[in-house]
Each structure stands twice: as structure tokens, then as C-alpha cells.
Amino acid sequence: MTADLRAAFQAREPVCGSWISLADPAVAEATASLDYDFLLIDTEHAPHSVETVTDLVRGVDAAPGDTAPFVRAAWNDPVRIKRLLDVGVSGIMVPMLESHADAEAFVSATRYPPEGERGIAASRAAQYGLDFEEYVARANDELVTIGQIETRAGLDAVEEIATVSGLDALFIGPADLSGALSVFGEWESDELHEAMESVLSTAHAHDVPVGTLASTNDQIDNWLSLGFDYLIAGIDVSHMLAGSVAAKERFDNAMAER
């Protein structure tokens, strides 16, 4: 499945994920049961440890279907990346790539030697040693690597980032990028759309897919109309709150009409 998903990214086929910020494996398992292509477990802003990520990945793996567990590292740090990969994720994202060197370092941290510098261990990813040699042999070809563009420096370096071999996709962080452009939260602003379109056209010229986060259902249509190749469609805690808000409003309105 992982190799097929990586091929889907590289071919710019439609891919849809969901965002996991809550620490309960039941949330990951239930969401994975909805036939998303992948779930992204966030460790940059959500309070997840490696142990929490491991339990969430187990939740995804326990669900029926082929949903793949991805993770966002807190930073482009080879030690953090190594520990997250050893958990057994199928893809990894890092925030705030700003140069060709940043992207090369990221890819190197995800690859076993001689292609990179990832340390080798009989971890969960290798079934605790039961699949050791086989996993090491295939991991470099299966892992999906995604780099985020979300700063002015990142915008300026998109072309050189997109040329880095082994980087499968780019991802625009809309909140950080809108903040960097001084239009935070103005999702329809010309400045934000022009920046997004610049990333899209530059990356597509190098056959690199680009995705972003749709935090509302309306944004799904808006971002797809701009030309994004894949989306993370919604966040677990936002879905929970939306359902709770709707139920409370329904109750309040019904009581007011009695």
C-alpha cells in the first residue's frame, strides 16, 4: 500500500488525508475507518510524544482498509525524524523548508545509507526485527516525504526546493503563510492566493504535487479550484467541535420555540 500511495503522490493523482491532533487512539482508528488515504499525526503543535504517536499509529493500523499513518515532525531535525520513522509511519512531513539545503537535509534524514543518514534499528517499523532486512531494503522506496512551504523565505526558494530528489510533495501551511504575508486568516486575500498559485506553478513545472489544509468544508472547493493536487480535509478537534456546536444550537433553538 505504501509504495502505491507514494506513486499516487508522484503521479499527482487525487489524494485525501485528515489531520490528527487529539491523543486518543480511538479517534485515529475511527477516522481511519472512513477510507482516507492517510491520516497526518501532528507533533509540531499538538502535545504528542513518540509514545503517543506510536499508540495513534497502532490505532490507524487497527482500522479496516488501507489508510496510511503519516506524521508531521516538530522540526527538520534528523534525530526527531529518525525516532518518528522507527514507529512505523508511511509518510513524514516537516515544517518551514526555506532552502535547497533544508530539503536535502530532510530527505537525507529519511533515507537509510548510502542514500541518506537515517540510523538503522530493529524498531516497530521493522516488526521489532522480524522484518529487519526486508524493511531496510524497501523503506527508502516506500516512504512519502512532504516539505512545507509557509514563510517568505520558503516562497523565494520554492524552485530550488522542488528540484531536490526524493522530496515527493510540497504542502502549503495556510495559517503560517498568511501570517508571513501579513494577511493572517484572510483566506480569500489576493496576496495569499497569488503566493499559493506561485508555489503551485513552480512546483508543477518540476512535476511536484502540492497540497494544503482545508480546515472547513468550503475550503475544500476553494483550494481545489486553485489547482491543489491533494488536501488534508479537516482536523479531528474541529470536526468534534462543529458537531457539538450544531447540537447545542439545535437544542437552544428548539427550547426557544417551546
CATH of residue 173's domain is: 3.20.20.60
Instruction: Please give the distance of CA 142 from its chain centroid, rounded to a whole number.
Output: 16
Grid cell locating 58: 497502532
Q: Does position 3 have pLDDT exceeding 90, yes or no?
A: no
Residue 95: predicted pLDDT? 98
Say how far apart CA 120 and CA 124 lie, in whole Å.
12
pTM, entire model: 0.96
Q: Give the pLDDT confidence score for residue 201 in this predicted structure.
A: 98
Bridge partners, 145 (sequence order): 92
Q: Let me know the angle formed at the C-alpha of 139 by 119 and 204, rounded to the nearest 5 degrees.
A: 110
Q: What is the pLDDT of residue 118?
A: 98
Between CA 154 and CA 177 the distance in angstroms is 9
Which residues share a beta bridge with 70? 40, 91
Q: Which residue range is the domain that position 165 belongs to?
A: 2-256
Say which residues have a Cβ less than 8 Å from residue 140's Cβ, sequence separation at least 6: 111, 112, 115, 116
Check if 239 is active-site: no
Mean pLDDT, residues 130-156 taken together: 98
* Rounded average pLDDT over 142-163: 98
CA 123 to chain centre: 22
Supply the pLDDT for residue 144.
98
Per-residue model confidence as pLDDT tens digits over 14-67: 999 999 999 999 999 999 999 999 999 999 999 999 999 999 999 999 999 999
Whether residue 2 has pLDDT greater than 90 = no
Measure CA 68 to chain center: 11
Reported as a single tens digit per residue, the pLDDT across 72-125 is 999 999 999 999 999 999 999 999 999 999 999 999 999 999 999 999 999 999
> How many separate domains does the chain show?
1
Q: How does pLDDT run across 186-240, given as a tens digit for each residue?
A: 999 999 999 999 999 999 999 999 999 999 999 999 999 999 999 999 999 999 9
The residue with cell 497540497 is 211
1 falls in which pLDDT band (50, 70, 90)?
A: low
